Amino acid sequence: MNYWIILYILGCVLKFEGAFLVLPFLVGVIYRENIAPCYLLVAALCFLLGLLLTRRKPKSARLYIREGFVSVAFSWIFMSIFGAIPFVLTGEIPFYIDALFETISGFTTTGASILTDVESLSRASLFWRSFTHWVGGMGVLVFIMSLLPLMGGSTMNLMKAESTGPSVSKLVPHARDTAKILYGIYFALTVFEIILLLVFRMPLFDALTTSFGTTGTGGFGIKCDSFASYSPAQQNIVTVFMILSGVNYTAYFYLLHGKIKDIFHLEEVRWYFIIILASAGVIACNTRQFYPAIGETLRHAFFQVGSIITTTGFATTDFDLWPELSKSILVLLMFVGACAGSTGGGMKVSRLLILFKSARKELSLLIHPQQVKKIRLNGRVIEHEVIRSTNVFLVLYFIIMMLSMLLVSIDSYNFTTGFTSVVATLNNIGPGLDLVGPTQNFSIFSAFSKIVLIFDMLAGRLELFPLMILIMPDTWKHK
């Protein structure tokens, strides 16, 4: 284990977090809030620690898979630990576990909150809370890679650990250039949404925080009713950008390079839109009696389907009051998630396609034992390593989910509350059902349950493996 390279990466992350924390300080200064210096103080602390950790470059800059996964896991943990401090210093979230829950929910783009009155927060804290979505959406290490030449070609192991999906490939030969392309697309989507929301008369502060949560597929709202009080036009804009943010960014890369035909070969993207259209259509029919006009019904149906499948978590209506069929569809969409290579969470459409095709292949082999059949996705043969990784992911996923449900049930809330709280955090959704529904929050849980859900949020965002190898004894052996 190359500990020096891990410490160096942690130092880089802390320096960047220090720079990020200057933004809410400036927001506080603009709005003349006396809590603004708290953010500057933590920014200075992060930058100082970052300088100490990066003052000496490691002798060996080679980054293997083990170091890559450990670096990513610790980076997210340390980033969250320091990112929570301003909430405590300002007194707006006085208990550190609550502040850590809120911060990790932000960085992991979950959007689950312990706040009962979000509108009582200062503008600086509201900005930081939403900005954590944008930072965590694409990944802080991907952002750093796009700016700094950290470890040459071995940085691909960082991207593999932080990016979403069963497999990660380079869009261009160099990992750093791939990171630049990803963040370029991410930034362009964010700016375009901000402009559209401003055109439709959303206040600048609201447009910024909303766009951070939409393109980062986070879901922290700055109003107590999430997104219900905004105009239908503004809700429709957010619906479109939530769905676009759940698309595999490879599709945008093809679009930018005029490879339109290649986009149609992306099976995952096709099925992603099919699932959205089918789910919204069924929900619209099932909830028709809840709204006076068909247009309003469709607006809420598409907004909530887009919000849940992309794991954003915004809400325009209390879907906990919907019929059981509609709620069941939303819970299933929590598991499905968005596309691989997007900012969305969940199991990912590509993994489900691989699992479905693997099951079909095994059933076919029972009938034709001598048959030689390859599993293909997007017209390419899926390597056995990817299939094995997908199967292991599924096993770990359900083990973590079942253990988390068991531990959270100690608080003695009803099954729907406990089950959907775990599903909503492990899949980085945000709201669940019943006591953690769209009009409720997670403040009801004990400190122990919040720690369990914090682990679930981190495990879900990092796709299990980086966090799980931290508890493997072999990880820490010198080889």
The predicted-structure confidence for 445-473, as pLDDT tens digits, reads as follows: 999 999 999 999 999 998 888 888 888 88
- The reported pLDDT for the residue numbered 153 is 47
Q: For 16, left (φ over 0), alpha (ψ -120 to 50), or beta?
A: alpha
Report d(CA 357, CA 440) in Å as an integer. Answer: 39
pTM: 0.93
- The reported pLDDT for the residue numbered 438 is 92
> Mean pLDDT score of the chain, rounded to an integer?
89
Instruction: Annotate the chain with three-state secondary structure.
Output: CCHHHHHHHHHHHHHHHHHHHHHHHHHHHHCCCCCHHHHHHHHHHHHHHHHHHHCCCCCCCCCCHHHHHHHHHHHHHHHHHHHCHHHHHHCCCCCHHHHHHHHHHHHCCCCCCCCCCHHHCCHHHHHHHHHHHHHHHHCHHHHHHHHCCCCHHHHHHHHHHHCCCCCCCCCCCCHHHHHHHHHHHHHHHHHHHHHHHHHCCCCHHHHHHHHHHHHCCCCCCCCCCCCCCCCHHHHHHHHHHHHHHCCCHHHHHHHHCCCHHHHHCCHHHHHHHHHHHHHHHHHHHHCHHHCCCHHHHHHHHHHHHHHHHCCCCCCCCCHHHCCHHHHHHHHHHHHHCCCCCCCCCCCCHHHHHHHHHHHHHHHHHHHCCCCCCCCEECCEECCHHHHHHHHHHHHHHHHHHHHHHHHHHHHCCCHHHHHHHHHHHHCCCCCCCHHHCCCCCCCCCCHHHHHHHHHHHHHHHCCCHHHHHHHCHHHHCCC
Enumerate residue ranges in the chain where pLDDT < 50.
152-153
- The reported pLDDT for the residue numbered 61 is 64
Report d(CA 449, CA 462) in Å as an integer. Answer: 20
- The reported pLDDT for the residue numbered 150 is 54
Instruction: Annotate 289-304 with three-state secondary structure.
Output: HHCCCHHHHHHHHHHH
- The reported pLDDT for the residue numbered 253 is 87
The predicted-structure confidence for 291-340, as pLDDT tens digits, reads as follows: 999 999 999 999 999 999 999 999 999 999 999 999 999 999 999 999 98
- The reported pLDDT for the residue numbered 155 is 62
- The reported pLDDT for the residue numbered 154 is 56
